């Protein structure tokens, strides 16, 4: 019984660790920022140069 419970806890913690991967979250954040800049920012009103 303890082995089954331990395996379940381990598999759930392993699944949650991939959801909290900082690299994947950072990639998602960067892609969202790029999409916002590309689709929703009016280039004529920017105050800086690329």
49 found inside a domain:
no
20 found inside a domain:
yes
Provide the residue-wise pLDDT of the chain in tens; the chain has 50 residues. 677 887 888 777 765 555 667 788 888 899 998 888 888 777 776 666 65
Please tell me the total count of domains within the chain: 1
pLDDT at 19: 63
User: What is the domain range of residue 6?
Assistant: 2-41
Classify residue 20 by its DSSP letter: T
9 found inside a domain:
yes
30 found inside a domain:
yes
Question: Could you tell me how far CA 32 lies from the centroid of its own chain?
Answer: 10
Number of Cα atoms under 13 Å in the Cβ half of residue 48: 2
Tell me how far apart the alpha carbons of residues 42 and 34 are, in angstroms, rounded to a whole number: 13
19 found inside a domain:
yes
């Amino acid at each position: 019984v303890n082995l089954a419970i331990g395996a379940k806890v381990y598999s759930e913690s392993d699944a949650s660790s991939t959801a909290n991967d900082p690299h994947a979250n950072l990639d998602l954040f960067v892609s969202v920022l790029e999409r916002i800049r590309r689709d929703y920012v009016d280039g004529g009103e920017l105050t800086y140069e690329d």
